[in-house]
Structure 1
Amino acid sequence: METRKYNTNQPIGQLVQFSQDGEYFFKKGIKYYRRRDLYKAKKYFERAVQFDPKEPVFLCQLAVVLSELGEFEKSNDILIEIVEKLEPEMYECYSFLANNYAYLGFFQEAKKYAKKYLEFAPDGEFYEDTEDLLDLLSIETNELDGFHDEEEELINRQEAARELLENGKLEEASMMLQKIVKEYPEFWSAHNNLSLAQFYLGNVSKAIKIAQDVLKKSEGNLHALCNLAVYYHYLGREKEVAHIVRQLRVVHPIDMDHRSKLGVTFALLGQYEIAFKWLRWLQKFGYEGDGAFYYWLAVSAYHTNKKQLADEMWQKVIKLNPEKKGAEPWLKVQAPQPKGKAINHSLIQQFKETDSGEKKLLILLLLKRSGNVRSLEEINSYLLTNNESDVVKEFTHLMLNKLTNKQQLKTSSRLVDGLEVIDALSDQCTWPQSLEQKFYMLWFRILLNALHSPISFKNSHAWAAAIEYCCLRAEDQQVTQKQIAEKYLISTSTLRKYMNYVTDLV
């Protein structure tokens, strides 16, 4: 057996050293980055930078990881140091800066760096992505394009309408917003606020229609999608809610207010984990939200077992709204309810007690607009055991059909034509809700009196114009025949013809 010989001058247990330089730690960082273990990647890139703090490649990769971890400001500091002091021709840093500033909500800075990258790196690896980002930034920031001369006035009007909405002055807000959308039909934020105003007034069907119209013309409009999800949730239409939620879960807006809207919407829908993610991120970055923002951050924090944070956020709510002291939301969390829901029971009772045919039809219309299928079904059940006119029964079925898209019974074409007059009045109405309902009452009286006459209801705009004019004159409103005729796109002679019909049938 061979005897091993050792050099007794060599210390026993001495380790053979191997090179641990910046390159070594950088390669380790790349390995973990490719595995998507970002925290370990960050650790190794930081070690690499300690060995060589002036190596732009090490610094740039660290900045990329910091960005993916949401540490945008630290990432930006490094990227700016690279392009300003170390390697001005490392153009990809401009693309990374553009993305970081976009996520932070600093759109002008994001645009500046995106344009720099496109200018200096026309063949660069990130050219298409940066071009897409620039297009997205243009969409996010240029909603008012084409309104430049009136931009400041328009923003002030929109803000005034929003304040009315927040203060519960719903009819005033609705009237102001209707005027804005008529003058600026592509100013989508006004459409979205009008939709909310109609929702809180109890006109849920109208609110849904406005939101759907926005989505047809401005595909993917985040506020319209969020509003629609809340409306469907209120109506219990959970399949539609789930469909929208799937879309919202993959959305990553760059605008701070859009992120707030997304977070609040998820909280309203009871999806607290993802709600907390968005709202907490904003709060960490110093986003100055309103009372609703902190309210829903408190709720989502509580429901994700972060009760200390929930208490802290609730203190902010109290600071903004002192009257909420002692009314912690997690004691009884509820989404804001439209006024219409509260009055549905009262409307059903009024329906049962009134002998007026036109009032019954108006109540059915209001229940349909509130979107509450159960209330209409309750009336439908009531009609099975109580004597009522065929017209009221048919109109009840018609309202149910409109809400459920189920064909239950064949409805008189005369009633369908009559409903189109209501739609025309509704589309053109810029008056308070109380006056609008008087238009409907007058029309229902005409409808009942003329239902079996040979007079046609086909010209819905002419009938609507005549109803509005006659009602306004009866209310001593100063309006001319020419104004009403132009509003409904008919001639004054046609208006007078239908005014005569109204007078004969009242």
Structure 2
Amino acid sequence: MIERTSEQDADNGNVVPLTLDANFFFERAVRSMDRFQYDKALRNFRKAVEYEPDNPVNHCNLAGILSEMGDYEASNEILLHVLENVEPGMTECHFYMANNFANMDNFEAAEQSLVTYLEEDANGEYLTESEELMELLQYELDRPAPLVRIRSREGVVEHERARRLLEEGKFPQAVKLLEEILETSPDFLAARNNLALAYFYMGQFAKSRECLSEVLELDPGNLHALCNTAILLQYAGDKEQLAPLVSMLETTVPFHQEHVFKMATTMGILGRHRIAYSHFRRLLKEVEAGGDASLYHYCAAAASNSGLYDEALHCWRQAARLDPASPVPGFFLAQLQASVQAGQPMLPVSYNYQLPFQEQLKLWTDSPDLLAREVQSNPLLRASFFWALRYGDADTQRQVTAVLGQIGGSESAEMLREWMEQEPSLEEGLQESVLLSLQRLIGGHAGEDMVGDEQERPALAPQRAQEWREEWQRIIDQTTAMMDRRFDPHQKQAAELLWRRFVDRLGPDVPPLRHTHGWSAALEYMVAKLCGRPVTYREIAQRYAVTVSMVSRYARRIDEVCETFDDLPSLGIFPSSTEKI
């Protein structure tokens, strides 16, 4: 530090020491800036850097005055020097550089620096300013920024992406992302609530309930968790726990519109339609321009289910006016008018703004083009199909199976396979419908897509004079479909080869092979044993919903005819250990 005598007190003649250091020049620079004397300010900031070259703040002040003077390139050179040589953790330098690049009309570089700042800065000091700059850059570049996360709002960007996945009906992807968010941010209650919702849509009620319990442990008054818990308890039929929770919710008056809507829909699902109607009416009064068609439909459904038919009529007419292209308001208006004329109560109305599922199935069956458009525009349709398969009657399940076959694509095939795995005891006619749809989706035989080399296919079908029967193919199809995910492609190929050998060796006059589920169970048992997998007759019998004695009897018959364990290499199976039946 240098001290020089430069001034004298006029009153007492004392010499006042003048200390020349970084603070001295900083203060002089600030006074110069206040007087708009930028050249003097620049000189003083440079002197401050000379006195304390390792202080990153001095460098940033110098970069700031250069930016004020319009020398953005020189400003960025200093900021880059700070990040590379002085203080790499001074993340706000990226924000300063982003502003400089934007002033230079270098919007690509500005975006890159801004994204770096948002992803690395833990404090979010310039978060509001960053949002404004991001909006400008999106306008100039005509695209959203490739922002992965905002570190100061950990998990927010990822959560928004997960929420969009939920809205699109991509539940497994949403679950994966939400679980990752909660690993790093376990107190992120919105993410935990949405994870519970995703589990619920997938039918995993135990996991959904566990998530909701965790939310309520952290926040006992969390309205979303309380409402979702009530819905879960109703599906579980737990009236004892449901009653006090519903009583509490019925007396709750939410303030925020989001909470009012959540309460209204929850009351509707729980069958408290009058309370749901009062909440929806409140929303219609509060929402700008009276809401949209779907909100009027929700209110109409609550009114109709409460027996308030005049109110329902008014709401559906408003919905038809707001959304004239939709068939939904017109359908329910016709239903309501027919009920009133017949002097009969209106059938219960779903709160979903769509036609009843059976009506949709009729439209989709008659118009594949409409189906394709609906699948594209209604992402939650996947959830509807999943629930119809799991909880609909047999007729609905057949219709959904046929519709999924028309939609095509890997998601439809995956849905049907998951359903078959979860419900192995489907009645024979329904299982046949599922397998036919899987064949249509995959092409050829169900499971044929798992076989890699098409040139190997002829080896699976020995030449025979007799015509290959549908019942024999059905056994192959349902076995390989049930084996999916638990066996690799070669093992499923071995199952097909083993079955074809069995039928071939039975001779030209093959007796009728009744009880196809029993033969499929025996075939899977044989392949599991050939592969050295631990398996029991009881386990296989439960999976295929047949008796243990049937699996045992049919498996012994396959082994006797094929001499299975004497000729393993020709089946392409080399087990580590085997046990003769």
What TM bracket, shorter-length normalisation? Answer: 0.3 to 0.5
TM-score (norm 1): 0.38
Which is greater in Rg?
2
TM-score (norm 2): 0.33
**Bigger RCO of structures 1 and 2 (CA < 8 A, at least 6 apart):** 1
